[in-house]
């Protein structure tokens, strides 16, 4: 079978692909076929002319995102049916789909052998994000396939790729429903309700990746005064309320986020006056807050380093916010601290937190080391898929 144009690699540059790493870097390419368009499916051949597999072509440092290894079978609706069904089977076996939980990540890019594709499910709506031109061109097949998978029960598919596709590709994607329409947006996570705004919210509208870490926080909350910094939709705040916190303060620089947090707390705990939300800059808030005001602090900032070039400043940012927390948290306090920057390694993050702790001179112990949940799987051949890192610390 030889249906797709072929890219030829330089000698010896097929090694990582033979170990199923899903990216072909531009430096590995010996020759490109003529008239290739971004998003085309291409075959990848070794210098010796052997077929390695097929993938989506793109301009940039990652030239091909591999879809199949050892086969050039078409990328069609059978392909997506097989991969999406497998993704759904895994989520089902993880027991993430229950009457009290219907928000989860169905597809996590390379971790589900679908590079360039992210799909979050909220009840009967799937929010699809393409990160590659190739997946952008597959959006209709993907949407249709989603509605056909037995028991997945997706009836609306919202496409949201305006900010995730490479700008230079000039694809001009529109955020819109591909199938169905708005049908309410309250999702359940571990028995708590959340209003999810995929139309206006960040990413797909909610951060499902903190589900298990929020659950853990719930068990630390009883009787504690909680500060949820970078609260976004108030996920951690709602769990802290259920866990019996004596007060919960939520902070985000976005007024819209603060509004979402208030609404979510109100929906789960109406007329409960333990909660207050503030629209303020985190660095300001931490600088102004009093010593011993909080017994439990959550620091879950946005990715400080979106690219490797921003790494140094990102590490300074992590050190600064953690130093403020160590300086002010009450004795016997618990700090939940996170980094979701893929460019920051687990060791680098830990070193930044260690430096902040040392600066405060307090006795600090690690109670838990946290990561992303199982619906954000990491292909063992693609360690770059690991991005969420967290520590739960006991501060004396």
Of 9 and 240, the one with the shorter C-beta distance to ligand SAH is 240
235 binds ligand SAH, rule: CB under 6 A? yes
CB 116 within 8 A of CB 132: yes
Q: Return the beta strands (E) in the chain as ranges.
A: 6-9, 23-25, 29-31, 41-45, 51-57, 62-69, 103-108, 117-122, 125-130, 156-159, 176-179, 186-189, 192-195, 225-229, 247-252, 275-279, 296-299, 333-339, 364-371, 389-395
CB 371 within 8 A of CB 386: yes
313 binds ligand SAH, rule: CB under 6 A? no
Of 75 and 388, the one with the shorter C-beta distance to ligand SAH is 388
336 binds ligand SAH, rule: CB under 6 A? no
189 binds ligand SAH, rule: CB under 6 A? no
199/196 Cα distance (integer angstroms): 9
Binder to ligand SAH among 60, 302, 332, 383 (CB under 6 A)? 302
What is the Rg, in whole angstroms, of the alpha carbon atoms belonging to the chain?
22
294 binds ligand SAH, rule: CB under 6 A? no
242/8 Cα distance (integer angstroms): 57
145/81 Cα distance (integer angstroms): 6
CA diameter of the chain: 71
23 binds ligand SAH, rule: CB under 6 A? no
CB 344 within 8 A of CB 305: yes
Query: From the CB of 277, what's the least distance to ligand SAH, in Å?
Result: 12
Stretch binding ligand SAH (CB under 6 A), from 47-55, 111-119, 158-166, 251-259: 251-259
Query: From the CB of 371, what's the least distance to ligand SAH, in Å?
Result: 15
Stretch binding ligand SAH (CB under 6 A), from 148-156, 280-288, 345-353, 362-370: 280-288
User: By rule CB under 6 A, what string of x and - marks binding of each residue 209-228 to ligand SAH?
Assistant: -x------------------
Stretch binding ligand SAH (CB under 6 A), from 52-60, 219-227, 253-261, 372-380: 253-261
Of 46 and 341, the one with the shorter C-beta distance to ligand SAH is 341
Helix (H), strand (E) counts: the chain? 10, 20
43 binds ligand SAH, rule: CB under 6 A? no
Residue ranges binding ligand SAH (CB under 6 A): 207, 210, 230-233, 235-236, 252-254, 257, 281-283, 300-302
């Amino acid at each position: 079978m030889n249906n797709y144009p072929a890219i030829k690699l330089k000698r010896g540059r097929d090694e990582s692909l033979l170990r199923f790493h899903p990216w072909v870097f531009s430096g590995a390419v010996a020759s490109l076929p003529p008239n290739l368009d971004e998003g085309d499916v291409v075959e990848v051949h070794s210098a010796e002319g052997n077929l390695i597999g097929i993938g989506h072509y793109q301009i940039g440092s990652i030239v091909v995102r591999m879809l199949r290894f050892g086969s050039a079978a078409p990328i069609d609706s059978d392909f997506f049916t097989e991969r999406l069904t497998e993704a759904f089977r895994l989520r089902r076996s993880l027991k993430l789909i229950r009457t009290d939980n219907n928000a989860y990540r169905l597809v996590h890019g390379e971790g589900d052998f679908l590079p360039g594709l992210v799909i979050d499910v909220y009840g009967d709506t799937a929010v699809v994000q393409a990160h590659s031109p190739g997946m952008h061109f597959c959006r209709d097949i993907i949407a249709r396939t989603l509605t056909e998978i037995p028991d997945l029960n997706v009836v609306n598919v919202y496409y949201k790729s305006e900010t995730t596709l490479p700008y230079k590709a000039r694809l001009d994607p529109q955020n819109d429903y591909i199938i169905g329409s708005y049908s309410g947006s309250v999702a359940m996570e571990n028995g708590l309700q959340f209003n999810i705004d995929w139309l206006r919210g960040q990413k797909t509208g909610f951060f499902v990746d903190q589900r298990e870490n929020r659950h853990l926080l719930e068990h630390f909350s009883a009787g504690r005064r909680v500060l949820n910094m970078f609260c976004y939709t108030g996920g951690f705040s709602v769990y802290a309320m259920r866990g019996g916190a004596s007060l919960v303060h939520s902070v985000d620089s976005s007024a819209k986020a603060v509004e979402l947090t208030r609404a979510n707390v109100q929906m789960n705990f109406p007329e409960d006056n333990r909660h207050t939300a503030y629209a303020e800059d985190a660095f300001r808030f931490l600088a102004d807050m009093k010593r011993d005001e909080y017994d439990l602090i959550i620091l879950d900032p946005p990715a400080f380093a979106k690219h490797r070039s921003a790494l140094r400043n990102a590490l300074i940012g992590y050190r600064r916010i953690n130093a403020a927390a160590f300086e002010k948290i009450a004795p016997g306090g618990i700090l939940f601290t996170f980094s979701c920057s893929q460019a920051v390694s687990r060791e680098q993050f830990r070193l930044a937190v260690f430096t902040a702790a040392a600066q405060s001179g307090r006795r600090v112990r690690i109670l838990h080391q946290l990561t992303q949940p199982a619906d954000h799987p990491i292909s063992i051949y693609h360690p770059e898929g690991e991005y969420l890192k967290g520590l739960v610390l006991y501060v004396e």
